[in-house]
């Protein structure tokens, strides 16, 4: 029976990694080889921009047995918590998940603009304005709905809805900061429709007196 555990905080914030990725892998491997059970706890899914593959590779290279438990990526869970489905019948039958950590190339922007559907950008709020402008320049309609979800699923969650053309002003006005998820596409408008239907359903619910 596990009676105690050592907690090692290696959490990362935008622009600040208190422990480097290589050191994280070293800590995991050394502790496991010392005979300890090691749990690397991540938010979301470890294989969606979580560098889980690198950590598993480091363990395998050292002869450490690994069991990966999949999670729910914030690319889906955060929009859902804000009432935005990433796909919706007759609105969007595809969604693309993009890392905003590094700038996209002009070719990548053109590709995204041509794909259509819903685009979810993780770790990209600092580049959100540039992304919106590049999407417009690449042919995406300026009136395409967009939403930024700050601190998704947390008590301080905030949602700012705009369009590609108005996103810059909305983000500046509301002072949206990381961590935040950016959603681009017509499913953003579904949020208002679902909220209306939810309100109507509540109004029609029989009340106990």
Phi-psi region of 85 (alpha: psi -120 to 50; beta: other; left: phi over 0): beta
- Reported residue count of the chain is 209
Over residues 25-35, the pLDDT tens digits come to 999 999 999 99
Q: How many whole angstroms separate alpha carbon 170 and alpha carbon 45?
A: 29
> Residue holding tokens 């969007």?
92
pLDDT at 14: 66
Q: What is the pTM of this model?
A: 0.86
Q: How many whole angstroms separate alpha carbon 51 and alpha carbon 136?
A: 31
Residue/partner pairs of 167-171 with CB below 8 Å, 24 or more apart: 167/128, 167/129, 167/132, 168/129, 168/132, 168/133, 171/125, 171/128, 171/129
pLDDT at 198: 58
> Is there a cis peptide before residue 175, judged by omega within 30 degrees of 0?
no
CB neighbour list of residue 65: distance below 8 Å, 6 or more residues apart: 59
Mean pLDDT of 167-173: 96
pLDDT at 183: 97
Over residues 74-116, the pLDDT tens digits come to 999 999 999 999 999 999 999 999 999 888 899 999 998 898 8
**Residue 202 above 70 pLDDT?**
no
pLDDT at 203: 52
Question: Quick one: CA torsion of 106, 107, 113, 114, rounded to 10 degrees?
Answer: 160
């Amino acid at each position: 029976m596990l009676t105690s555990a050592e907690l090692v905080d290696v959490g990362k914030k935008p622009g600040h990694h208190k422990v480097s990725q290589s050191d994280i892998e070293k800590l995991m491997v050394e502790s496991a080889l010392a005979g300890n059970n090691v749990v690397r706890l991540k938010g979301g899914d470890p294989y969606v921009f979580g560098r889980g593959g690198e950590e598993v590779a480091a363990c395998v290279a050292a002869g450490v047995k690994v069991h990966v438990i999949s999670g729910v990526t914030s690319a889906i869970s955060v929009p859902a918590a804000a009432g935005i489905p990433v796909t919706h019948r007759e609105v969007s039958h595809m969604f693309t998940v993009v890392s905003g950590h590094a700038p996209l190339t002009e070719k990548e922007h053109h590709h995204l603009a041509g794909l259509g559907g819903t685009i979810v950008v993780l770790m990209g709020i600092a580049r959100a304005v540039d992304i919106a402008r590049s999407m417009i320049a690449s042919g995406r309609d300026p009136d395409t709905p967009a939403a930024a979800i700050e601190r998704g699923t947390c008590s301080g969650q905030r949602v700012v809805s705009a369009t590609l053309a108005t996103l810059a002003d909305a983000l500046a006005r509301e002072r949206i900061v990381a961590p935040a998820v950016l959603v681009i596409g017509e499913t953003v408008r579904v949020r208002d429709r679902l909220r209306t239907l939810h309100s109507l359903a509540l109004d029609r619910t029989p009340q106990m007196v």
